């Protein structure tokens, strides 16, 4: 029994050391500008539309090899706001009268494949494509759906454990779209 326990411990130490050496897993967080394209147009009166806010993203991934990673993420796009006291606006071909303030709050979670182009050890551009499940709350109305997303970015490894990451991502929300431009820190383990 003692020999089996020692063998198990030694095997676990080898696997753990190998995983620590490879550092195939990573976690990250980014913050930046979120911008929506809601399709609202032709504002009249004193109406104003603000479709940008601060957004953030948290993510985790696994490097399958130096060219491909699998990643899961959660992104929050902040709030958009249509405000004013009197006017009309057009949305999806219909003109509506507006006399209040409406805020939209949007977020999503999903998974993507990340394709790296390791040009240099300190500059690694990448492209990503994935699917996401989104939720938008507009006043008391909640809309949900599943759509595609894509993105481009650059990882700037600082050492074996830490990288800076900048990226642009675009998310479809049915007929609307959200863009997220972020910068953040990624930790490999």
pLDDT at 1: 43
Residue 18 clears pLDDT 80, i.e. is over it: no
Residues sharing a CB contact under 8 Å with residue 88, sequence separation 6 or more, in sequence order: 42, 43, 44, 45, 47, 95, 96, 97, 98
Q: Which range is least confidently modeled, 2-16, 111-125, 144-158, 170-184? A: 2-16
pLDDT in tens, 23-72: 899 999 999 999 998 878 888 888 888 999 999 999 999 999 999 999 99
Residue in the structure block whose two tokens are 């979670």: 109
Q: Output the pTM of the full model.
A: 0.82
Beta-bridge partners for 182 = 32, 167
pLDDT at 41: 82
In whole angstroms, give the CA distance from residue 149 to residue 171: 4
pLDDT at 21: 60
pLDDT at 146: 98
- For residue 112, give Cα distances in angstroms to 15, 69, 107, 169, 177: 27, 8, 16, 11, 17
**DSSP track, 136-179:** EEETTEEEEEEEEEEEEEEEEESSSSEEEEEEEEEEEETTEEEE
Under the banding of pLDDT at 50, 70 and 90, the label for residue 99 is low
pLDDT in tens, 119-151: 899 999 999 999 999 999 977 789 999 999 999
Under the banding of pLDDT at 50, 70 and 90, the label for residue 12 is very low
């Amino acid at each position: 029994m003692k020999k089996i326990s020692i063998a198990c411990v030694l095997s676990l130490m080898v696997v753990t050391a190998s995983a620590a050496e490879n550092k195939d897993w990573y976690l990250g967080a980014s913050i930046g500008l979120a911008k929506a394209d809601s399709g609202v147009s032709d504002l009249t009166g004193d109406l104003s539309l603000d479709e940008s806010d601060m957004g953030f993203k948290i993510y985790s991934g696994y490097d399958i090899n130096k060219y491909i990673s699998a990643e899961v993420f959660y992104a929050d796009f902040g709030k958009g706001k249509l405000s004013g006291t009197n006017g009309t606006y057009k949305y999806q071909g219909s003109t509506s009268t507006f006399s209040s303030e409406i805020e939209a709050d949007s977020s999503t979670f999903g998974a993507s494949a990340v394709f790296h182009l390791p040009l240099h050890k300190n500059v690694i551009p990448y492209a990503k494509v994935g699917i996401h499940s989104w939720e938008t709350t507009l006043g008391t109305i909640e809309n949900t759906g599943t759509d595609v997303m894509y993105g481009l970015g650059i990882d700037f490894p600082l050492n074996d454990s830490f990288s800076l990451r900048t990226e642009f991502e675009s998310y479809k929300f049915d007929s609307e779209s959200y863009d997220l431009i972020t910068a953040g820190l990624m930790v490999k383990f």
